[in-house]
Amino acid sequence: MSESQFNDDAYWLEKLTPEQYRICRQKGTERAFTGEYWNEFSDGTYLCRGCAEPLFMSDTKFDAGCGWPSFYQPASKSVIKEVYDSSHGMHRTEVVCRKCGCHLGHVFTDGPAPTGLRYCINSASIQLKKE
C-alpha cells in the first residue's frame, strides 16, 4: 500500500464497509456493546482495519465495562498517534493509526496497572488475527 492511497477517499470507500468508513475515516464511533470485539478475549493480535499494522496484543485487553474493546497499552508506542480532540464539547485524546491515519478511538487515564491507561477502541477500526 502506498501512502498516497491513504489520502484517496475512493480507496477507502472501496476497502471499507459504510460503517467502517464512518468510524475510521470520519471519526465516528459505534454504539457501546455492539462492536465485534467488545466481548472477545481470544489470543492474537489486533490489526488496523485500514492498513493491517499490528496495534494491540490480546494479553493487554481487559474488560473495562464500557462496551468497547479496551487495552492498557498499544503493541508499540510507535504504531499510534495521539491527537487532542475537543469535539462534542469534550476534552479527550484521540488515538489514530500512525501509518494510515485510521481513527481508532480514545485513550483515558482510568485504566489498570501497569500503565493506568484505557485505550477505548472501536471494533470497526481493528481486526483480530487469532493465534
Residues marked as catalytic: 120
Cell readout for 59 is 494479553
Nearest CA among 11, 9, 29, 6 for reference residue 121: 29
Q: What is the DSSP string of 105-127?
A: EEEES---TTT--EEEE-GGGEE
Give Cβ neighbours of residue 61 (< 8 Å, ≥ 6 apart). Answer: 41, 46, 69, 70, 71
Give the angle 32-110-102 at the CA atoms, nearest 5°. Answer: 55
